[in-house]
Structure 1
Amino acid sequence: MDTDPLLPRKKAPTRRAGVHADSAAQYGTVAGQATDDKRVTTSFLLGNLHCPSCVSSIQEALGDACGRDIVWISPNVVTSVVTVEHRDTGPAVAHVIATMAKSLEAAGFEVCSVTTTSAAVDSLDLDNLADHSYQAADDSAETNGAGALGRLLTAPRFKQSLTKRQQTHLANCEECRHSRPHTPRSGSQTPLLTGARARLERSGTSDLATLSTLESITAVGSSSSIDFAGHAWRATYSIGGMTCTSCVRSIEDELKRRPSVAKVVVNLVNNSAIVDVTEKDEAQVLVQVIEDIGYDVSLEEVVPIDQKSIGTKEGSDAVKEPSQWRATLAIGGMTCASCSNAITAELNKLDWISNVAVNLVSNSATVDFTVAGKENDTAEAIEDMGYEATVDSVVAYEAEPEHEGAQERRVQILVEGAYCKHCPDRLVHSLAAFKPNLEIISAPTVENPKMQIAYVPNTPYLTIRRILAAIEAADPSFRPSIYHPPTIEERSKAVVARHQRQLLRRVYLSLVIAIPTFIIGIVYMNLVSDDDPWKHYLMKPWVSGINRAQIVLFILATPVYFFATDVFHVRAIKELKNLWRRGSRTPILRRFYKFGSMNLLISLGTTIAYVSSICQLVAAGIEKPDFVEDTHFYFDSVVFLTLFLLLGRLIEAYSKAKTGDAVEMLGKLRPSTAILVEKDSLGNTIDSTVKVEMIEFGDIVRVQHGASPVADGVIVQGESSFDESSLTGESRLIRKKVGDDLFAGTVNKDAAVLMRVTGAAGRSMLDQIVQIVREGQTKRAPMERVADMLTAYFVPIITLIAILTWATWTILGLAGVLPESYLDATSGWVAFALQFAIAVFVVACPCGLGLAAPTAIFVGGGLAAKHGILAKGGGEAFEKASKIDLVVFDKTGTLTVGGEPKITDALTYPGSTQEAASQEDTELLFAALKAVEENSSHPIAKAIVSYCKSRTEQLASVDNLQEIPGRGMKAICRGQSFDASFDIIVGNESLMSDNHVAMSESTAAQLETWKREAKSVALVATKPISKDTAPWTLAAALSIADPIRPEAVAIVEALRERGTSVWMLSGDNLVTAKAVASQVGIDPNNVLAEVLPSQKAEKIYYLQSTMKAHSGSREHTMKRATVAMVGDGINDSPALTRADVGIAIGSGSDVAISSADFVLVSSDLRAVVTLLELSRTVFRRIRLNFAWAIVYNVLALPVAAGCFYPFTTSSGQHIRLDPVWAALAMALSSISVVLSSLALRIRIPWIGFQDGKIGS
């Protein structure tokens, strides 16, 4: 997973530096230390993170294991992903990640997938960290007979004959026929091999042909003719019969006792093991070792670890330290080429920098350096030159050769039909013609016919299509295809589906048993007449006073307790076992007041009901009474409790999955096929439909009406209108012509066009949006910490209340305080009190508290993405945006259009006085002005260049170009002769004043008139180059009009109506800035003008320090205002970072570059109001969810504990909550919270989020 870590600055720490200060202090990492160290983000996908009370267990487990290295921890109960940011300890980071994974497993969690941003972790080792608790057999934590029962019921039928393709290959390959061993009888096939085949058949993968090979040529494929004596070997095994982590540990422990075994990794995900041994023969010996401890095993592959195949990188299995780091910085203050050149030259002087690329257009720089942790020093070097610099991202990478345009592409190719030991060599040799432009990263084997290649696409000569065609041409039996490893969303979806199947099977079991339980326990016992013969038969005492009905209910409840409620029991046992394990760092006292989860409460409730009923049976068998009252037994309660609890969990699982589908929905915008346009040998155009992964950089693709571009690209033929609402949130169609950019995820609504692909695979705008939404989902809101604190102590409190409830009722009953009418004829006070304790255990629900915030934030993030708003800051940014008191708009490009300003008026004085001059002098002036401004990317500079081109065709050159920050530019203009050369300065009035440029009253009056018309002013002055002491004289005055955005007035009015103060920040002169403010409706007193780029962050800090928070019209003098800054995302980067909420508007395809909390894909200001309204709506819903969860527990617990039992209804019934109905109430409480969050998607006032069409 690619992340975009924001590293706090040492010199001027931003608000982000303290976001996780509390968690950093908790794990022993001070803020300063975390700042200086390079950070790594690692994500663990847990298969059984279903209850919010698990969050504190996760934090404690990771804190105890790796507290010194961890900066912050963010568990997410919606996605079941735990994101950990920790220090990069170099090569030791793999050990840190492994330790964290093992600590999570020890705490009873199933680690199904591990991803990290560290380049120092080998992908194979990372995959092997995936949880040993994860089960591909769809059942976890089943150490009882349920697991065996499930495997019996789902046992597949095995195929034992060779496939037709393999037979064809053997018939055509003489060497394979000679080397092929005798085919074993059908009954002699290894159990594990058939198990592996069965798993593949169930999954529907295309590896069956490869697996069939192993059934006949296992002895051939797993050996090598090359002698690697003295080297380590890596053996891969398939293992059958593993059901839980104890199986994994027993296998690992047994293998580690062997002296020749160097490393063991057993993976429950794919029922396999990878073992490094020092002797090749030991690999076969280990088969017997594993079989001796009771598991089915088959040796799949043995390869030397340091094997060097043709074109294979040496030591690819070793963990490597990154050789270089690449930092992306946002730079403010650059206005011309001299700025970028100066920065490039200065940075190249630094020893640790190997490459510098400064982009004047995007106001950013990409710097490669060879020493870790130098990104802040690089930023300080830029600041020392007078520019603003903010580190946006730092990633580790291996230095690669530079390529212009296309970027290197790495692809994994799966080849079906590789049946013999000679096939891998033929596969490698089939690509020899593409060398040296293609590199084989990992070579295929018979057992694992996947090969990874790296190349730089060069259409049409070197493409993935030609590569696959070359492989097919090498052998008719080869069928290559691109292999896609599962993404984190796919893995998560598989884990969720597995969990849902777990619950569904148990719901089926409970439901089937609940039907006869209802008939016997409810209908016959309470509703059927006493004269009914069947009721008489069931209710008549049979053995020791116990009637037949209770015996039947005991038989029915037993499988439910052991095979349906087992998920709660096993998880609760693991929690307690981990808490009290030897070596635990949890203080003894804390173990009594901070333990358990919802699983423990459910397990205790059902266990007490079942065990107490069993005790009553035993007691009756000993005492042999004539009659035992039915109220002494809770067997029917066990069944109904379990049914309602599992139903609640199942509905909650389905609903919760719906709240986090934003990434999945965005991913569905990608088409699966594309129409490739090529020319044949005669020059005729040919259209062919290919899969998307076959498209390369530079390909020509036809985008038909109603279709989406397969990747980002540029139109090369045709003109059409595109719907970009899926990315920008704007419903209007955008007209596109030749040369315009197209983005993946948009829809063609008009005629077909031809597009040249310019976006590399995985780097399109849609991919960036998906990545940002994914990153935002890992960042939790501060409000969630309240839920964490409450749920951490919830279980101990409920346990104490349940014990006190039972003790109180028992003592009061035995002491004679309670009336005997409360009891049945043969009932006792102990059993009477027990029903209240069970109800307390079952009715309490911390799930609602834990799900209140994350589910609403996930739904809000999806709604934001639908409106073209990307929440990079996640839940924290949403929470702050809901409390915005003051919004600051940048003027140019935000309140104004900015992209195409126009010169509306021009006064020229090219002579020595401000009077009319010759046409020749005027053209020379415009030529010089054009030459100077062509070196700047500022919108006003572009307008000046465009105007000068319309006034003259004369050319001039400039030397000694200098940029004066916040004021303008200075240069020497050289004309056709020496006399035509002069010094020139271009800029604002401050620059003219600094150089003592004289100005007539009429000119000054004209400038004031332009300013009052909301026009910006640019002035030009010159002086002879031969006279250093000569004064500067005004040569030209230009007025620039930047149109106001059409929606700006309505947006400012809407914000003011909501009680939000609106300010404007501008580098323009005060008169012009106030004129623009008056046009859009901003109070002139709320204008900060003539602000240099380096001062914008200071002005934001000034507003934060001086302005007070508002709530409607009342001012809170004790709390400062929450300030939002709306800017262009790059030029305003320091100010966006300084603000409480940074909103980057109109960032286009560079959505991942900005350091803002929110990125608006479009440039429509209406999205700002949508964002603020959505944030307020989301957090109103969070508060509603919290209130409901708290009120539910506060009201339900007293009722369950029997506080209202002395009171009776009109029918004479005591007010109480039966344990069965308590279970139903508990299930509905968490479901209602999830449904409440999902209701945000409903466009109904007061129920969901309704986007008001402001300014449309």
Structure 2
Amino acid sequence: MAPHRGGATRKELELEDLEAQARLVLDEAALEKEPLLTSSSFLEDGNENGKSGAPALCRLEVAIGGMTCTACSTSVEKAVLRIDGVSSATVALLQNKADVKFDPRTCKEDAIKEAIEDAGFDAEILSRTFMIDLVGNGNAAPPSKLTTTEMFKVGGMTCTACVNSVEGVLAKLPGVKRVTVALATEMGEVEFDPKAVQRRQIIETIEDAGFEAELIESEERDKVILTIGGIFEDDGTQVGELLSKLKGVRDFTLDVLLERAVVMYDPEVLKLRDIVHGIENAGAGRYKVVLPNPYTSYSPDKSKEVSSALRLFIASLAFSIPVFFITVVCPHVPFAYRLLLIHCGPFLMGDWMKWLLVTPVQFIIGKKFYLGAYHSLRSGSANMDVLVTLGTTSAYVYSVGAIFYGAFTGFHGRTYFETTTMLFTFVLLGKYLEVLAKGKTSEAIGKLLELAPTTAMLVTADSGNSEKETEIDAQLIQKGDRLKVVPGSKIPADGFVVEGSSHVNEGMITGEAALVDKSVGDNVIGGTINVNGLLYIEAVKVGRDAALAKIVNLVENAQMCKAPIQKFADYVSSIFVPVVVVLALSTWICWYLAGVLELYPDSWMPDGTNHFVFALMFGIAVLVIACPCALGLATPTAVMVATGVGASNGILIKGGDALERAHQIQCVVFDKTGTLTNGRPSVTTAKAFNGMTLSEMLAFAAAAEAGSEHPLARAVLDYAYHHLVFGGVPSTPKSPSRTRDFSWVKKCSDFKALPGQGVSCIVEGQIVLVGNTKLITEQGILIPQQAANYLREVEERARTGVLVTVGHDLRGILAVSDPLKREAAIVVEGLNQMGIRTLMVTGDNWTTARAVAKEVGIKECMGEVLPGGKAEVVKSLQSDGTVVAMVGDGINDSPALAAADVGMAIGAGTDIAIEAADYVLMRSNLEDVITAIDLSRKTFARIRLNYVFAMGYNVVAIPVAAGVLYPFFSISLPPWMAGAAMAMSSVSVIGCSLLLRLYRRPRLTEILDFQPQHRSRQ
């Protein structure tokens, strides 16, 4: 369960005074305080629930009025520490708050408040929290892992230099094992040893580097933050007693003022729904428990950043307009110009007015840039803030100097205050547009989050044979729950249909436009739409295990991963700012010396300037026109948009590195069953041998295959079921492979699955083997000539022969047909047209493999290959540098998927295959193989174009700003215009990336497109 994320900053405090080290996550934006305490008198005797002498500690937060300096805060601390029972006191002068730890058995809250007031200050108790150790309740915490991985929101980053700065300072922390920071998503993933470094230290380190930090997601799946509506201060004891008595609760904190409880529990012993219902029942309906949305941690909320950027831009613009009017317009209006020349003491009215207007922009609105530059330089790096502050400060300092020079000498030279205001205004405008554009790149996750169901209709058995229906929060669904899904509603959880039939729209998850038939036994996906029938489903995967949560997490992680090409931008950005500063200084010195040495005529200089000022303007222009941000955004924004586009097309990409490798694919290796074929094999014919009847042979085969999940095993089971139970009826409303009803099957023992070969077991005291020819021959069992002839006929018709032996004799052969996917042949043809080599590798026999390969147009194939052998085939292809993609769906494909440069898992495949792959094709449609490769190629074409924009901009803009065109065409860029160009460069790169949202699947994949009302289930 993701922590609550209502505010902009989060701190997690390690309460070291408790043996259980209870953890409390605080929302600083809601209430800027570290310690929040509950008062729970039910523990004061120390013996509740067997917790004899359990350590107890209160933390009190007090608002203090009247403090003006450090001496005041010190006085308060000393006054509080003199009280018996107070173990620590910390006073924050700027926040006007005190954090006090004390033993409630020897110290009272009123005594602390009175001590502060006696010291001469006002005091008001804000909150109190009572924390306890429940380990004595028999709920021992599980052994902790060596490391934990958590997600942090990092705000204020503008370029790759900022990313490098954050990663650099975090990597230096003791206990930090790995750090990944993504500029586009403003997310940081940190793997660390919680014994060596605390979350608070990580957040503080990021903040010390000049950025905003917030904990947004933790690996702790056994912690939940509950908002309890309707609770009052007097109810704390009742709720605390309830939580302390619940078996499975490890520890908790309860803050009545914030109406919040943080509960650590054992999900194997206690379910979340039991906690929620327990609290609500304790209040006799007065309490309403609300859970935080588990998807909130993924939600990219840019609203605060957008409003902040807009506010700064408008404020700067408000000052810039009058400065521009005074500088540019007034000199052309005689009356206004005369007013500007009026002396106010030693200064001119115009200079006074511009100075007064510019100073707030420089030091108040521009504070953000100064702080960013300071923290950047302190961490040993340099970013865009350094360039902006150097440029604006140079113009400001010179202008102020010019005013004082005029006051003392009477020569009132030209000032450049407008440079400062215009620079800040255009840079802030660029930042505002950049934030808006960044928000567009993350819309894919937002659209996925909209699919998340909010409520579910739980069906439970009532008295007698009746059923009770209760609407519950979708987050409270538990595995095994029976749920009712009415037409038009969202399916609340992943599971399977136990009653009813309907058509389901799965397009929002899989990208499939057609409706899918669903009936008893079929799997359903949470978040999809039940169109026209009433369904009852059983929940199988809930919470973070659900398909939607995994998809959102996968897309988010993909956007976190850096593409290898990003290393180029990282390197350039690391040296960019120092190089630009050197170039700016060189420009200023060269132009200044050229003027002093009279290498250019004085007519080149504008009126009211000198050689120093003339050269300075070129130097400032070089400083502010250079833009490292565009370089840093070139790759991550394109990757972010591409992963979102892929997700909307049913293609999940697991990272920028996978996206980059895919555009280099030279060879695609296909598995057969479930990849080139539909993966829904069925037995077409069966024949018994050696004196055994067909029914007897099928009974033994079914007993063996009942323990297997292989598609061929399900086909054998269904055929045997139809023959043995329904007398050979070809189709029935239910099949055992879907309903999992094996009551009609003989009992077996010593079951073994033999990957790539088949299964073995003991039935009625006899060894039964069901599998391919290789399995039978390796066991030394002879295949009679009659059976061999039948097997050859089966395989020549592109069927798979499944052999059944009982004892040491071959007793039967089943011919299994798995139709090819309708798009298989054209996809192979399309890959060939793209210059990509195709192969097929299968565990099936050579004869069947050749027949299938010929039918789809694959010229190279390999049969009778074991799972490990598939990986070896991939490695052999890679030996000469070929970039290989593997497309598969089963457990036996996972080694090859992992070994390939790019692994593509069919979405209907196994979890293991999906875990091993780099791409997941949710539609189980081979057309998406071409789409994935094409999307990768277009993405990296876009990234290259971004780099052309970013590098070309700097390569062209810096010399122009330095004045190389001035001697020939008298063209120069005023610093404010250079700043505007710099601001627009980042926007142009992001805009170029956003054009990927217009991506459409290649024309080849549309050849077979059709628009039926619905299709049969897969």
TM-score normalised over the length of structure 2:
0.78
Secondary structure of the corresponding residue to residue 1037 of structure 1: strand
CA contact (8 A) 1:322 1:396 kept: no
| d(CA) in 2 for partners of 1:256, 1:1043 | 84
Partner residue of 1:1017 out of 759, 784, 801:
801
| d(CA) in 2 for partners of 1:256, 1:1238 | 60
Which residue does the alignment assign to 1:938?
A: 710
| d(CA) in 1 for partners of 2:466, 2:693 | 56
CA contact (8 A) 2:457 2:469 kept: yes
Which residue does the alignment assign to 1:830?
A: 612
Which residue does the alignment assign to 2:688?
A: 908
For the pair 1:1253 / 2:1010, whether they are aligned, the reply is no
Give the C-alpha shift of residue 1013 in structure 1: 2.0
| d(CA) in 1 for partners of 2:267, 2:54 | 38
Which residue does the alignment assign to 1:424?
A: 236
CA contact (8 A) 2:453 2:490 kept: yes
| d(CA) in 1 for partners of 2:298, 2:939 | 27
Which residue does the alignment assign to 2:278?
A: 467
For the pair 1:1062 / 2:838, whether they are aligned, the reply is yes
Secondary structure of the corresponding residue to residue 735 of structure 1: strand
Partner amino acid for 2:866? L
Give the C-alpha shift of residue 497 in structure 1: 3.6
Partner residue of 1:1228 out of 959, 978, 984:
984
Q: What CA deviation, in whole Å up to 9, does each residue of 1:142-173 have, x standing for no partner?
A: xxxxxxxxxxxxxxxxxxxxxxxxxxxxxxxx
CA contact (8 A) 2:40 2:237 kept: no
Q: What CA deviation, in whole Å up to 9, does each residue of 1:738-759 have, x standing for no partner?
A: 3433322101222343444444
Which residue does the alignment assign to 1:560?
A: 361
Residue correspondence of structure 1 range 173-188 to structure 2 within 5 A: none
Partner amino acid for 2:800? S
Give the C-alpha shift of residue 472 in structure 1: 2.7
Secondary structure of the corresponding residue to residue 878 of structure 1: helix
CA contact (8 A) 1:703 1:748 kept: yes
CA contact (8 A) 2:76 2:91 kept: no
Which residue does the alignment assign to 2:326?
A: 520
| d(CA) in 1 for partners of 2:437, 2:811 | 70
Partner residue of 2:395 out of 592, 597, 609:
609
For the pair 1:574 / 2:356, whether they are aligned, the reply is no
Q: What CA deviation, in whole Å up to 9, does each residue of 1:927-957 have, x standing for no partner?
A: 3333333343332233333334455579866
C-alpha distance 1099-263 of structure 1, shift in aligned 2 (>3 A): farther
C-alpha distance 608-962 of structure 1, shift in aligned 2 (>3 A): closer
Partner amino acid for 1:467? G
Q: What CA deviation, in whole Å up to 9, does each residue of 1:780-810 have, x standing for no partner?
A: 1111111111111111001101111111100
CA contact (8 A) 2:87 2:101 kept: yes
Partner amino acid for 1:1094? G
Partner amino acid for 1:1099? V
Which residue does the alignment assign to 2:59?
A: 235
Which residue does the alignment assign to 2:951?
A: 1190
| d(CA) in 1 for partners of 2:769, 2:573 | 66
Partner residue of 1:1133 out of 873, 876, 894:
894
C-alpha distance 839-658 of structure 1, shift in aligned 2 (>3 A): same
Give the C-alpha shift of residue 445 in structure 1: 5.4
For the pair 1:776 / 2:558, whether they are aligned, the reply is yes
CA contact (8 A) 2:689 2:810 kept: yes
| d(CA) in 1 for partners of 2:929, 2:626 | 41
Which residue does the alignment assign to 1:894?
A: 675
TM-score normalised over the length of structure 1:
0.64
For the pair 1:1100 / 2:874, whether they are aligned, the reply is yes
| d(CA) in 1 for partners of 2:572, 2:64 | 43
Which residue does the alignment assign to 2:994?
A: 1238
User: For structure 2, which runs of at least 5 residues remain unmatched after alignment?
Assistant: 47-51, 149-194, 196-217, 726-743, 1010-1018
C-alpha distance 265-704 of structure 1, shift in aligned 2 (>3 A): farther
Which residue does the alignment assign to 1:1170?
A: 931
Give the C-alpha shift of residue 499 in structure 1: 3.3
| d(CA) in 2 for partners of 1:955, 1:282 | 71
C-alpha distance 647-436 of structure 1, shift in aligned 2 (>3 A): closer
CA contact (8 A) 2:498 2:520 kept: yes
Q: What CA deviation, in whole Å up to 9, does each residue of 1:470-526 have, x standing for no partner?
A: 2332xx8x4332242887637863xx444333322221211222222232222223x
Q: What CA deviation, in whole Å up to 9, does each residue of 1:814-865 have, x standing for no partner?
A: 1111111112444210011111111111111000100011111111111122
Which residue does the alignment assign to 1:730?
A: 512
Which residue does the alignment assign to 1:1074?
A: 850
| d(CA) in 1 for partners of 2:89, 2:581 | 42
Which residue does the alignment assign to 1:368?
A: none
Partner residue of 2:772 out of 973, 988, 1000:
988
Q: Comparing 457-466 with 947-956, which one deviates more in the overlay?
A: 457-466
Residue correspondence of structure 1 range 1031-1050 to structure 2 within 5 A: 1034-1050=810-826
Residue correspondence of structure 1 range 423-572 to structure 2 within 5 A: 423-428=235-240, 439=249, 441-442=251-252, 444=254, 446-447=256-257, 449-451=259-261, 466-473=277-284, 478-484=286-292, 489=297, 493=301, 496-525=302-331, 528=332, 532-538=334-340, 540=341, 542=343, 547-572=348-373
| d(CA) in 1 for partners of 2:310, 2:120 | 30
| d(CA) in 2 for partners of 1:1071, 1:944 | 21
| d(CA) in 2 for partners of 1:1184, 1:558 | 40
Give the C-alpha shift of residue 661 in structure 1: 3.6
Give the C-alpha shift of residue 650 in structure 1: 1.1
Task: Percent identity, please.
Answer: 32
Which residue does the alignment assign to 1:884?
A: 665
Give the C-alpha shift of residue 1079 in structure 1: 0.7
Which residue does the alignment assign to 2:191?
A: none
CA contact (8 A) 1:325 1:397 kept: no
Secondary structure of the corresponding residue to residue 950 of structure 2: helix
C-alpha distance 123-860 of structure 1, shift in aligned 2 (>3 A): farther
Which residue does the alignment assign to 1:347?
A: none
CA contact (8 A) 1:265 1:274 kept: yes
Give the C-alpha shift of residue 701 in structure 1: 4.2
C-alpha distance 239-828 of structure 1, shift in aligned 2 (>3 A): farther
C-alpha distance 752-620 of structure 1, shift in aligned 2 (>3 A): same
CA contact (8 A) 2:80 2:116 kept: no
Q: What CA deviation, in whole Å up to 9, does each residue of 1:876-915 have, x standing for no partner?
A: 11111121111111111111122x322334443214xxxx
C-alpha distance 1035-466 of structure 1, shift in aligned 2 (>3 A): closer
| d(CA) in 2 for partners of 1:1195, 1:782 | 26
| d(CA) in 2 for partners of 1:412, 1:1149 | 35
| d(CA) in 2 for partners of 1:1157, 1:925 | 42
Q: What CA deviation, in whole Å up to 9, does each residue of 1:1008-1066 have, x standing for no partner?
A: 3332321222334566xxxxxxxx65443333222111111121111111111111111
| d(CA) in 1 for partners of 2:641, 2:515 | 27
| d(CA) in 2 for partners of 1:292, 1:839 | 60
| d(CA) in 1 for partners of 2:506, 2:517 | 11
| d(CA) in 2 for partners of 1:121, 1:1138 | 46
Secondary structure of the corresponding residue to residue 937 of structure 1: coil
Give the C-alpha shift of residue 683 in structure 1: 7.6
| d(CA) in 2 for partners of 1:265, 1:1132 | 59
CA contact (8 A) 1:459 1:697 kept: no
Secondary structure of the corresponding residue to residue 144 of structure 2: coil
Q: CA RMSD in A?
A: 4.7
- Give the total of aligned pairs: 905
C-alpha distance 650-486 of structure 1, shift in aligned 2 (>3 A): farther
Q: What CA deviation, in whole Å up to 9, does each residue of 1:363-395 have, x standing for no partner?
A: xxxxxxxxx9xxxxxxxxxxxxxxxxxxxxxx9
| d(CA) in 2 for partners of 1:503, 1:966 | 60
CA contact (8 A) 1:765 1:1151 kept: no
